[in-house]
A and B are shown apart, each in its own frame.
Chain A
Amino acid sequence: MAATRTVRLHDIAHGRTGDKGNRSNISVIAYDPAHYDTLVAQVTEARVAEIFAHRRPSAVKRYLLPRLAAMNFVLDEVLDGGVNGSLNLDTHGKALAFLLLDMIITLPGGDP
């Protein structure tokens, strides 16, 4: 079996959260387009839904933007009502991109 190593998504991608109402969108952008296929294979709707399970998303949808080496996640009803209703200090959920960027990614190859 080929050697692999694990990294945080934060090591190979960056992103930003946006909010509208009770819906959050999180971009995930590869620093190096060579990692894009790995992101597509591993940063799936199912895994993202798992990471945000405590927020009970009613839907998690992924849009791919290969020319930008980016993907856009849209998570419905994850903001406890959003800026008007949430009791969170961060009513917009602006920090949430960094919850996603904490995900573990497996890369081929041994030492970095």
Chain B
Amino acid sequence: MDRDTLLVGCAAGFSGDRTDAAAPVVATLARRRLPSVLIFETLAERTLALAQLVRRRDPALGYEPLLDDLVGPILAPCLASGIRIVSNFGQANPPAAARRIRAIAREQGLRAPRIAVISGDDLSGPEHRELLRCELGARLDGIDVVSANAYLGAEAIAAALAAGADIVVAGRVADPSLVVGPAMAHFGIAPDDWPRLGRATMAGHLLECGAQVTGGYFADPGRKDVPDVHAVGFPIADITADGACTIGKAEGTGGLVTEQTVKEQLLYEVHDPAAYLTPDVVADITGAQVRVSGAGRVALTGVTGHARPETLKVTVCHEGGWLAEGEISYAGPGAESRARLAGDILRKRLPRLELRVDLIGTLSVFGDDAGRMLAGTKAGDARDVRVRVAASHADRAEAERLGREVTALYCCGPAGGGGVRTAVRARLDTLSCYLPRSAVPARFEMLD
């Protein structure tokens, strides 16, 4: 078997991504008969806090809610073809996710996979509170901590794969580390080989959002057209021993891989291009180039890396009061004037709330919470406007007044208002700090 190339396919870019994405990726990896890894990235910043809330209610849960739908359809072909699976779908409870995967294998009559569980990221327990207090101090007082997790790097993933794991289940790891770990294990990349780690990290960065590099989140009809975008295929990277990558996608799918799609994803969530910080390396894309290297294939070159940060980032999620929202629609002649009047009425009725007012159809998502942009927008004559108001408050009863006032516009507001919807939900807020690596040891254990 060719050891000079490692294929990494990505079949999810967030928790809630399509569950039918994996099958074509796995079929393509199996057909190519090269060393292959399948990753699922399912952990946005707040996903872990939501998972922790689920785990509080049921200690057997707290992992990716769609785990069965993600893994069930591809477990057999992955085990049959030696395609290893690496994911953060363990979320707040990696051991429970590992046990669930073992059960799926049993239910399907498959051999028992070797499953490694990564631990060390979860700092939410009382035994870690003093450690967090050293960094966060008084900011921890009076808040209800829901989750606290360090962003782990790739080393424990690499060690688990080197030890023969078929599947690696993690909680919070840096997204690109899902790719860096397999690259380290496969090519024997040392943990201080900064240029190769930098390149593998950017391969991971291109893959970690799934279809965002293959034509998802890209279409702009007339300018950027995407073929069969309804069936957009998920990406596969060919990674070489120096860490450089070529991006393609699953065969027989929609979407496209072009220099444009790769450039957009390369810069996604990047700040200083000379210093893309991860636990593994400080990646540097100032010299990066992207070039078509074949039909539907684009190569990324020119990436390097510098010594990794000394500390690990920790995100603490805590309860953050209540968000109230309400909406009502106005249409036809004078719709915008009636909608603006509804907004004025709500401001007068809810003086204790800092109210955001949107006029959907005139101005909404571009505007700021304080309403400066809306105030600077001349009244027009939009004929189909949905008024949306939102406010947050520490006290639930105070937040709930918003929904009642929007509902009251039915009988007490401007003419012709319809389609009221209201909602109140709990908010989460976050704090961040940085801890020395020695305080957050990462490790793996094979499930018995």
Contacts and interface: CB of A to CB of B under 8 A. Distances in A.
Interface of A: 10-11, 14-16, 18-21, 23, 25, 27, 29, 31, 54-56, 63, 65, 67-68, 70, 72, 74, 80, 83-90, 95-96, 99
A80 B260 contact: no
Contacts of B272: 63, 74
Interface in B365-410: 365-369, 372-373, 376, 388, 390-392
Contacts of A96: 366
Contacts of A16: 217, 264-265, 267-268
A68 B264 contact: no
20 contacts: A11-B223, A14-B220, A16-B267, A16-B268, A18-B270, A19-B269, A20-B269, A25-B270, A54-B373, A68-B289, A70-B263, A72-B270, A84-B320, A86-B369, A87-B323, A87-B391, A87-B392, A88-B369, A88-B390, A89-B388
Interface in B188-230: 217, 220, 223-224
A14 B430 contact: no
B443 interface: no
Given A54-B368, A89-B365, A67 B267 contact: no
A84 B429 contact: yes
A65 to B, nearest CB: 6
A80 B271 contact: no
Nearest to A28: B267
A51 B287 CA distance: 29
Contacts, number: 105
Interface of B: 45-46, 217, 220, 223-224, 260, 263-273, 285-290, 302, 320, 323, 356, 358, 364-369, 372-373, 376, 388, 390-392, 427-430, 432
Contacts of B302: 67
A29 B263 contact: yes
Contacts of A31: 260
Contacts of A25: 267-271
A80 B273 contact: no
Given A27-B268, A87-B369, A63 B273 contact: yes
A86 B368 CA distance: 9
A72 B273 CA distance: 8
A67 B429 CA distance: 39
B46 A83 contact: yes
B217 to A, nearest CB: 7
